[in-house]
Each structure stands twice: as C-alpha cells, then as structure tokens.
A and B are shown apart, each in its own frame.
Chain A
C-alpha cells in the first residue's frame, strides 16, 4: 500500500513543495525515513508512532518506508510530523489522499497538532503552486488564513484530521481575518513634540519620502532616539503585500500570534552588543532572519554607531545596496528580504560634547580624530543624509513647540512617494544609475555636481547618492526636473567632520 500527501519545506522565505510518500509492505517490522531528514526529522518517528497509537489509529506492525521527495533537499523542522502521520494512516486504511491538500504541523505524543514555524510562508508558497486546502494547528490557523484562495482547516488533533478526511466529522474552514488599515494611526512619537531641530526634521522628511539612509550626529540628550522613533510615523502605512512580507519574517521566527497582520512599519533598535548573526541573520541550520530582516519595510535604528562591532557593520553593506541579505552556510544558501531605512546615531566625539554650546569636550587630542575615522569609510558613504542634532534651548522645552505634526509631514511624504512610484516604480533611493539618468535628468546641474566632486572629493557612490537626494527634494517640491537648489541642498547633508575621512 502506498500513499502520498503534500507538505512544504522552507528555505529562507521560499517554500518548496514536498511529497511525503509512504509504503507499507509485509516484512520485518521497521520504520525507515529516507530523503535527507536531519536530526529533528528523525525525532519525528517517535512522535508520529505515539501520536498514531494514542489517536486510536494504530501503528502498522509491518515494514514502513517514508520518503520525503525531492530527496536531494535537506529537510529541517518539526512541521513534517502531521503529513507523515496522515500519509501512514491513509496507507493503512488504503485511502486516496485528498487532492491539492497539504499538511503542516508538529504532533504531541497524545496526537494534538502543534505550532510549526513559518506557516504563513509555507501557505503562500503552497497556494502559489496550486494547493487549495491546508491543515495546520489551531495556533497557526490565523496566519495561514491570511492567504487568499486557500482553505484552512485546523482540527485540534490527528484524530480530528482523519475524521474530516474520512467524512465522519467536518473540521470547518477557518475564515481569513484581515484587519482594516487604520486611517490615522495613533502615534506614540509625534514630530509635534520635537522642539526646533529644523535640520533633522527636514532630513527625516527627505528620508521618508525617498527611502534614504540617515545619520544623526549630536551630544547625549539631544533627542536623537526620539527623532528616529518619529520616522515610522511619517511613512505611509504598509500595503497588504508589504504587511504580508513583514509577517512572513516573523512567521519564520515563530512570532506571529492570533492577530498576525500589522499595518505598522517595523522599528528595530538592536543594542550595539548585537552579534553579526543577530544583526544580519544566521545562526542555527540554514540561518534565521536577523534584525535587518525584522526591520524590512521599516526602520533600523543603530544608536551609538561607533560602538557596534566592525564585522557586524561590514555585513550591513551588501543588504544596504540590494535590499536582501544572503546567508551562505555549508549546507546551502538562504536569502531574506532586508529593505529597511537605516537611521544611525553617533556622538560627535567619545565624550559626546564636541561642538555643544553649553559644555566643553574633554576628549584628549587625537581621540576625536580616531573616533571619527572609525565611523568613516564605506558604511558612512552609504548614508545619504547626515545632519547635526543639537540640544534644544531650555526655554523651548517649557513652551509649546508649535511644530508641525507627523500627520502633516506624512501627507507630503505620501505625495512625493506617489510621484516616484508613478514615474519609475521604485523610490529614488533604489534607483540604479541607469534609472537615475532616465528618470532624474540633471540638466545644467550636472556641471555643479561635477565641480563639487572634483573640488571636494566625492566617490562615484557619493555622487549618485547626492543625485538621488536631489531628486527627492524635487519631488517634495512637486518639481518635474531637478533644480540647482535641490542639488545644493543634497550636497549640504554632509557633515564636515566626516567628509575628510569618508
């Protein structure tokens, strides 16, 4: 007797359709798993055996061979328990498997169906490959039900699954629940609370409008963290597709709960002691998503940039360019999305007070230069907007700021983003040089930019970055073409202290 059912294998955010084939044959009593199962798949044997027995389905005392195909892919995870158990039960009962139906879930010894990581990712991949029904644990039902066109069943245990398949007791399909996007999300951090800081406010607006990375430099207590926290609130809410991508990363990490979809832009602020794997991804097995993937479509805030480990910062460079991170391990390569806006913050010097008008810097000579050199180089070159943040005057703190609210800024940001997407189908920060030439002609301004590059020293990357920022300034102005003033402003977002070394 042979039976086979479908399940899904995850590689990063890709799902591969896997067929679980079971052959029950006369002979010595045996339970063989073939097809490159790793240790956790082998443990599945014991759970499957117990779950079948304790569900009243019995375990065949015959020669049992389970093959996971395609055989060349390394299988990981505990989500194979349910499909293996279902395939065995169908083979024993000599029943045909239901068409276009897949199973994902871990089994407890008593037969209860339990959570598996990455169900949303698997569900989307299965649906894309023609699967129409999916059985998961009750804990994972909400995230699987986000996928359009997929019928999701979530019986509490293996017996319930088999009863539904036999037609004796129906497990009703779980209704998908899409939360509606809030029109005006309440903001914890609103620009209306920011006093002064014209430079940082403008830089945040440009960053939100064009997707540019940002460096805030200033003394302790200047409000760098508060400014960074304001960025998600001036970005438009996530689109459905973006929200699903964000949820997929959290699904892989097993962090999605009963309300899996959020319209809020992620904001991640890892501590400077974070490891390279923690920051960009890696760790066990094929590698799990890191902070940069959790910040996908949102904001990654690195406070005290100079304190982060060199290798971790080095590893940021490739994702900053491509919007994806590729993790290569001996057993294969996975990639995760990492299209985030980087907001880095730094003190102007080790003690923090260089340039402050109320306290003097106490750093020994040479220390300031060393510190600023440690910040410079290829990473800094990728931060398009660099602004100084100063402590607000004390008198400004006691009076109302009368400053513009995040909602007002967001309205301009959304208009500017709309112009970009309409023109070139991506944000300005993501335009390649060829796209820049096509969609952001410089005209007479080219001479100005070239002159700056010659006289002040600008890398080719810096040249293109200033060009992109200028395009965003023009979009915020509603200007069809880049004016000289837009280029000049873009060139102004380069702090002198960093320029020498960068």
Chain B
C-alpha cells in the first residue's frame, strides 16, 4: 500500500506519516511511496525504523536519486530488502512531466493509497485519482482545519475516502484487521527522523496544534539544544510562538 502527501508538510503530517509507515510495516505491509521530501520520506523512514520493507517509486532513472538529500535513504531502502522502481531509463534526470506518471505507477502497484496532507492540486491528489481510476482503495488522514495542507485530504474525505486514524483502520480495509494497534494514533517519540527539510527559520517547523519541544526541534534541524532554545525564546518574545506544556506551538494567524 502507498503513503503519499505533501513535500512541505507540517510537523503533524510528518509525524503521522512516520507512525503509519512504522505501524503498517510492523504489521507486515510493504509501504510504497515516492522518495520525495516530506511525507514520502517520513513514511519510508518509519517503515525502515520498524524493520519493515519499503518500495520507492521514482520519477527519474533508478540510478538518479532526486532530491539528492534522500540518497542515503534510497540506499537504506535497497539495503533492507526493499526496492527502487522506475519506468524511466537509467540516467533520466528529474523532469516536470515525469512525476504524474510516477504517481500512476505508485497507485498501480499498491492495493490502497493513504493520503497524508495534500494541498489543493498536489501530486498526492493525482495519485489518489489514479488509484480510483485503477479501482484501488483511497483513504485519507484528517488534519487541522486551519491548515492549507489539509484541504486536499479533507476534500477526499468529503468525497467518500475512508478516514484513517491509525494503522488498524488501514489494515481493516486490507482485510487484515486482526492486529490490535494502539488507539488513538501515538505520535512518534522522535519527530524529524525524515531527512532534514530545508525551510527558512524555525517557524516552518512548528505546528499550530502539536507542540514540539526545543530538544525535538534541535534534533530535527541539527542544532545545539541551547541554540534551539534561544531561538524559540526569541520567537516567544516576538509573539509568534506560544508555550504549550513542555513544547512550543505556532501562534494562529488570521489569513
């Protein structure tokens, strides 16, 4: 089954993808995704961490890893018994037109597609459309109603996609419902296992709903703890983040 979603996810989306990847892999499911930044990388990483098998479908030749920052992840996928799959000839560089085709391939080799965070018109929605056209199941994870990253997934839910709260929901649809998993979904203890995402500043790494601690942020960004804490405190003083329990959330903005 495939886990797909935004290349610019919120920490919440990344956490969900990583946890789903891990729980599904632990239940013996092969997790398929597209080796892109964000949700894709988090899902692969989660599956690998759970000791599972994961398959990456590329929009380039199998000898060209895009984005380059995921080269280590690609090597690990192969090393752990998974595969890199592509319909393009060796050496094919990334081209805009190739990625929708890649999305079709992903849908084709999966029994079911789960969409985690997709903005309107994103590649993940193309994969979902392809899945429907090919007669595959489509499910979606709900997100914050304040987040533009949730619009696509919510549209799918409105159109009748199955709602995913945890891996059990997915396994039930796959006809493998006997495994008992935790309910509700447990956030991964370590955010940011996925390859580092390059975004400006700290704000982009904070969610409006799920508190992130200074230590988690430091780990994710490869900063020292002291620096992460100082920068968060500066944002707190400036009024753009709030303390929430032990962590920090981004202050809601009216758009």
**Distance in Å: Cβ of B136 to nearest Cβ of chain A:** 32
- B213/A388 in contact, CB under 8 A: yes
In the bound complex, residues from chain A placing their C-beta under 8 Å from that of B218 are: 198
- CB 8 Å contact bits of B217-229 with A (1 = contact, 0 = none): 0110000011101
- B245/A355 in contact, CB under 8 A: yes
- A198/B186 in contact, CB under 8 A: no
Whole-angstrom distance between the alpha carbons of A451 and B214 in the complex?
A: 22
In the bound complex, residues from chain B placing their C-beta under 8 Å from that of A355 are: 245-246
Q: Taking A202-B225, A357-B186, A495-B246 as contacts, is the C-beta distance between A196 and B230 under 8 angstroms?
A: no
- A492/B233 in contact, CB under 8 A: yes
- CB 8 Å contact bits of A369-406 with B (1 = contact, 0 = none): 00000000000000000001010111100000000000
In the bound complex, residues from chain B placing their C-beta under 8 Å from that of A486 are: 230
Whole-angstrom distance between the alpha carbons of A296 and B189 in the complex?
A: 38
- CB 8 Å contact bits of B224-248 with A (1 = contact, 0 = none): 0111011111100100000111100
- B189/A202 in contact, CB under 8 A: no
Q: Which of B164-203 contact A (CB under 8 A)?
A: 186-187, 189-190
Whole-angstrom distance between the alpha carbons of A455 and B243 in the complex?
A: 15
**Distance in Å: Cβ of A392 to nearest Cβ of chain B:** 8
In the bound complex, residues from chain B placing their C-beta under 8 Å from that of A452 are: 237
Q: Taking A393-B190, A395-B49 as contacts, is the C-beta distance between A201 and B225 under 8 angstroms?
A: yes
Tell which of B49, B225, B231 touches A488, judged by Cβ atoms closer than 8 Å: B231
**Distance in Å: Cβ of B149 to nearest Cβ of chain A:** 22
Whole-angstrom distance between the alpha carbons of A173 and B244 in the complex?
A: 67
Scoring B187, B237, B244 by chain A CB atoms within 10 A of each residue's CB, the highest score goes to: B237
Whole-angstrom distance between the alpha carbons of A407 and B244 in the complex?
A: 35
Q: Which of B49-79 contact A (CB under 8 A)?
A: 49
Smallest Cβ-Cβ distance to B215: which chain A residue: A198
- CB 8 Å contact bits of A438-476 with B (1 = contact, 0 = none): 000000000010011001000000000000000001000
Number of B interface residues, CB 8 Å? 24
- B189/A393 in contact, CB under 8 A: yes
A-B contacts at CB below 8 angstroms, number: 72
In the bound complex, residues from chain A placing their C-beta under 8 Å from that of B237 are: 448, 451-452, 455, 488, 491
Tell which of A202, A390, A485, A493 touches B246, judged by Cβ atoms closer than 8 Å: A390
Whole-angstrom distance between the alpha carbons of A355 and B212 in the complex?
A: 12
- B214/A492 in contact, CB under 8 A: yes
- A488/B190 in contact, CB under 8 A: no
Whole-angstrom distance between the alpha carbons of A355 and B229 in the complex?
A: 19
Smallest Cβ-Cβ distance to B189: which chain A residue: A393
Q: Which of A192-213 contact B (CB under 8 A)?
A: 196-199, 201-202
In the bound complex, residues from chain A placing their C-beta under 8 Å from that of B225 are: 198-199, 201-202
A28 on the interface (CB 8 Å rule)? no
Tell which of B49, B226, B243, B244 touches A489, judged by Cβ atoms closer than 8 Å: B226
Whole-angstrom distance between the alpha carbons of A466 and B219 in the complex?
A: 25
Whole-angstrom distance between the alpha carbons of A390 and B214 in the complex?
A: 12
In the bound complex, residues from chain B placing their C-beta under 8 Å from that of A422 are: none
Whole-angstrom distance between the alpha carbons of A348 and B186 in the complex?
A: 20
A39 on the interface (CB 8 Å rule)? no
**Distance in Å: Cβ of A40 to nearest Cβ of chain B:** 55
- A492/B244 in contact, CB under 8 A: no
**Distance in Å: Cβ of A354 to nearest Cβ of chain B:** 8
The 7 closest A-B pairs by CB, nearest first: A496-B243, A393-B189, A388-B246, A488-B230, A492-B229, A198-B225, A198-B215
Q: Known pairs A484-B234, A488-B229. 18 more at Cβ < 8 A? A: A198-B218, A199-B214, A201-B225, A358-B189, A390-B213, A392-B189, A395-B49, A448-B237, A452-B237, A485-B230, A486-B230, A488-B231, A488-B233, A488-B237, A489-B230, A495-B243, A496-B244, A497-B245
Residues of B within 8 A of A (CB): 49, 186-187, 189-190, 213-215, 218-219, 225-227, 229-234, 237, 243-246
